[in-house]
């Protein structure tokens, strides 16, 4: 009985393995790591910036997949804009999510930070950000 199961298992493996291997070739770009966004004052994926200021963000990953690019977007460009190099400019008061995401691959990875844009001279204290995350 044990011998029959071994033969069945081997037959299934011989059929499935080539199918699985044939689905992988050099043109497949599979991304597996999440994008981590870093920048001055970013803590726990949050930060503050005053209207008129800029903040340079950097997307960090363990590795890059061949043919894969990186793009940036703002959830609300009336609050903050971001260019394709990760430079954020605060233009209006409010909360905005800045996202970095991979392009050119079959699976897309992304990372995001939440920025609180405030009027000049009214910055949030880091403790307030820490408390908001605890709630």
- Give the tens place of pLDDT for each residue, 37-86: 999 999 999 999 999 999 999 998 766 666 678 899 999 999 999 999 99
Domain-by-domain residue ranges, the chain? Answer: 29-134
Parallel/antiparallel/unpaired status of strands 54-60 and 36-39? antiparallel
Radius of gyration of the chain from its Cα atoms, rounded to whole angstroms: 23
Instruction: Give the residue, 11 or 36, on which the prediction is more confident.
Output: 36
Q: Does domain 29-134 have CATH number 2.40.70.10?
A: no
> In Å, how far are 11, 44, 67, 75, 120 from 94, measured between CA atoms?
61, 18, 36, 11, 13
Provide the pLDDT for residue 22. Answer: 46
- Which pLDDT score is estimated for 56? 98
pTM of this structure = 0.65
Q: Hey, is 115 helix, strand or coil?
A: strand
Calpha distance 96→75 (Å, rounded): 6
């Amino acid at each position: 009985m044990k011998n029959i199961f071994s033969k069945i298992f081997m037959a299934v493996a011989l059929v499935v393995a080539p199918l699985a291997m044939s689905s992988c070739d050099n043109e497949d770009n599979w991304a597996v790591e999440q994008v981590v966004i870093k920048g001055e004052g970013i803590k726990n994926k949050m930060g503050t910036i005053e209207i008129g200021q800029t903040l340079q963000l950097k997307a960090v990953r363990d590795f890059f997949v061949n043919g894969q690019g990186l793009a940036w977007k703002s959830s609300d460009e009336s609050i903050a804009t971001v260019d394709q190099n990760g430079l954020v400019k605060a233009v209006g008061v409010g909360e905005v999510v800045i996202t970095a995401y991979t392009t050119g691959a079959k699976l897309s990875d992304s990372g995001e930070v939440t920025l609180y844009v405030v009027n000049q001279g009214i910055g949030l204290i880091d403790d307030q950000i820490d408390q908001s995350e605890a709630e």
